A and B are shown apart, each in its own frame.
Chain A
Amino acid sequence: MKLQQNTRLALYSLLEFAADPERQISAAEIAQKYAVSSHHLAKVLAELSRVGMVQSVRGVGGGYRFVGNARRLTLMDVISRFEEMLPTENTHQQLTPVGQALASVLSEIDEIAKASMSSITLETMLHIAERFHV
């Protein structure tokens, strides 16, 4: 499963916020950490704010903070906000026996990916990330 940049930015940001839910983190700080443009990240954060996963805090020391439930919010909950999850349209090739056989094998992979993404919460991701801390 290849994720678009917006989806990856949303996940990076949410994990930064969820790691320390009391702290307000600015978009600039996250943009610098992940080497992306603040402008691009601002759009992603606006969407996360719109769906109630983060809250924008105005004023000095303002930024964003996590307001979701890290024990319940899964990777799939976030991914489905940013990725097109519709099944691909059937082309002529996909309706042939070989095309259908290939589609059935590819769907196996998709199903496993979906099961993984649906079962990993942000809290679990934070635990996994701890293994990579040096």
Chain B
Amino acid sequence: MRKSPLFIGRLILTAGLVAIYVYITNRLEYWSQLKYVDNLIGAAPIILISGIVGLLIALIWKRHKNAATSTIVLSILSVIWGLLLIPAITGNWYPLAKIRDYGFASPDMTIYAPFTNDTQVAKLPPKASITITGELPILDGATALYPVYSAFANAVYNEADYTKDTVVCTNTSNAYKSIVAGDCDIIFVAQPSEKQMQAAESAGAELVFTPIGREAFVFLVGKSNPIDGLSYQQLRNIYSGKTERWKTLGWDDGGRMIAFQRPEGSGSQTGLQGTMGSLPIVKPRPLPDDSLIGTGSMMKQVSVEWNGVQPAIGYSYRYYAVTMYPNLDAKLLKINGVYPSSESISNESYPFTANFYAVTNGQPKGNVKLLIEWILSDQGQYLVEQTGYAPMP
């Protein structure tokens, strides 16, 4: 029996919809990870997408003599559910809940200041091969990288020309703003976020990234957490909202997980975005009690106790977590069975190693160029290693 063009058209549209459905759900990693979805919020995207596709297929195959009530209902529902997909994928369902900006917890940065008697920055055994005099490049950067760029200044800057404003540490987010605004000459940071790159481009800045060392991005949990390691896929499930309960990961009494995050633009949040790739990261969920925000510090709050367990998970850079601001009540997690040690970072068997950079606005010139060339020399790389980071291979 010959099929009518209308039937064939409907069949093609249905096939197209199913193909789109499979593509989106697969891209959001729902098919392979469906059994690890342990909460309603995490399941919302696939429920909505399935609902929308079902509604649209019903619309396609429906008889359309007149604009019947059911047709209008199906159409409006498809649109509304489509709109709801945005908060579903970003996990942003919480009315007016907010990331509080209070508390203060930070390591004592003064011990890493250059040219002080008791500075704890790494030093060269012999004298540096160069001395930078006159107009010294102004340095800024990430908190975790302050010890290393302070060590550079301590080694090669002429002390007589140095002032306290020459080497500052305003954190990753502010350092990017500073280099774009031309307030400093070099910033030492991890990779930029997409928004930071867009902000730089729209301001007409031409950021030049010179990799100067390697660092590991690490995940932490409380010390009493029986889980010592997670797979890369399990981390993706946690931060995409699919997995919310420790039980799913093998800790039966762990209860609901508190997956802490950091603000957009911070170095460690950009690190998390880098590990997740194109898979959307859900917004942090509301805390069971406001007091759990405590000091406001990831390193401190990751060992927080709730209902008799330490249910939190967080992340940081290894040097910061191990040396600069350690928390003895927290532990680093193995990823895919590999612990983030100096060896596993150097041989790149640990999966989350990334370069950190000296960033300039435009091609480096004069003393800025001299300093960056020296940082890439054996002496500069020696300081990178002595500080606790992995040098460039």
Whether both chains belong to one complex is answered with: no
